[in-house]
Each structure stands twice: as structure tokens, then as C-alpha cells.
Amino acid sequence: MSEIVNLNRFRKQVSKAEEKAQADANAVKHGRTKAQRLLEAALEEKARARLDQLKFEDE
């Protein structure tokens, strides 16, 4: 005998799997990891601090 399958539940599972695959593809295409964002912010802050050190102030 074969196993009884609830078609509505099966359709929902398939739909969720497709949506997750699309979300993963979009994340790879457009997104950055949290570590990458933090690294970029740290490098930007370091560059800003260095630029502030090199500024001449007229008095």
C-alpha cells in the first residue's frame, strides 16, 4: 500500500520551498552578510578618522 498524502499540505511545502529558493537567490545576488557590513562600516570609520587627522584648521 502507498502512503496517504494531504495534497494541500504538499502544495504548501512545495510553495514554501520555491519561495525559500528565490529568497536565497536574491540574498546571494543583492545581499551582504552581517560580517561584511560590519567590516565595511569599520573601514569607513577608520578612513573618516584618518581624514579628520589630516585636516588643516585655519584659526
Kindly tell me the sign of the dihedral angle through the C-alpha atoms of 13, 14, 15, 20. Answer: positive
Q: Is residue 44 part of a domain?
A: yes
Q: Is residue 1 part of a domain?
A: no
- Residue 38 structural domain: 7-54
Q: Is residue 17 part of a domain?
A: yes
Asked if pLDDT for residue 8 goes beyond 80, the answer is yes
Query: pLDDT for 21-51, tens place per residue?
Result: 999 999 888 888 889 989 999 999 999 999 9
| Number of structural domains found in the chain | 1
Q: Is residue 2 part of a domain?
A: no
Q: Is residue 25 part of a domain?
A: yes
Which of 6 and 56 is assigned the larger pLDDT? 6
Which of 57 and 23 is assigned the larger pLDDT? 23
| CA atoms in the 13 A half-sphere facing the CB of 59 | 0
Task: Kindly indicate the confidence band of residue 13, based on its pLDDT and cuts at 50, 70 and 90.
Answer: very high
Answering whether pTM is above 0.85, one says no
Q: Is residue 59 part of a domain?
A: no
